[in-house]
Amino acid sequence: MATLEELESLVIKGKAKKVTAAVQELIDEGADPSETLSTMIDAMGVVGEKFKSGDIFVPEMLVSAKSMKAGVEVLKPYLASDEVGALGTVIIGTVSGDMHDIGKNLVAMMIESKGFNVIDLGVDVPKEKFVEACEEHPEAKIVALSALLTTTMDAMAETVKLLNSQSFRDRIRIMVGGAPVTQEFCDSIGADVFTPDAASAAEMAKTLAGA
């Protein structure tokens, strides 16, 4: 029988196939999907600490990330809702220069599970692409930006600046987040809302949509 402790260890070690099996086993045995997800998020925190202290390097971080993604795939149906699209459209992406997408994917998944249609522009998204997406989707009410590196916070600021100068600015709310992002930074770049994690981002999106 798989345990959450074992799952954490498997993500840290980057054992994707075993993570897939362990997550399925945990869910089949009645584990809470949110707790299972939190365990994998905690594991990535440990991975980050190990990288920071020089115990592991980029390739190890990458295999851990892949194993977490494999686990999230199994969890998706258990976290999703069947009302997709009812609350409107959200455009999301990780800003230019930044390849981190696990947090952004979680935010997208949680927002979708609240009943939004999510247009995911991916990672390393140039600021102009966010503008194009808003123009292509006049129904979009929220633009959500993620950044994981202190060095890409500038790209987030530039993206917000460009969005703020557009004629469609009044119809969208700009949400920002990611490990180095703070409320103070959000205010300083002229974004509308900062939230610290995927669950609060999804709740906030719902509030912004007036639901």
Binding site for ligand B1M (CB under 6 A): 41, 44-45, 47-48, 51-52, 58, 61-62, 65, 97-104, 106-107, 144-146, 148-151, 175-180, 195, 197-198, 201
Whichever of 176 and 189 has its CB closer to ligand B1M, that residue is 176
**Nearest-angstrom CA–CA distance, 36 and 118:** 23
Could you tell me the smallest distance in angstroms from the CB atom of residue 69 to ligand B1M?
7
> Amino acid identity of 211?
A
**Nearest-angstrom CA–CA distance, 11 and 134:** 36
Q: Which of 46, 26, 44 is nearest to 34 (CA)?
A: 26
Whichever of 31 and 152 has its CB closer to ligand B1M, that residue is 152
Could you tell me the smallest distance in angstroms from the CB atom of residue 144 to ligand B1M?
4
Whichever of 21 and 41 has its CB closer to ligand B1M, that residue is 41
**Nearest-angstrom CA–CA distance, 67 and 81:** 24
Handedness of CA 120, 121, 125, 128 (dihedral sign): negative
Could you tell me the smallest distance in angstroms from the CB atom of residue 82 to ligand B1M?
23
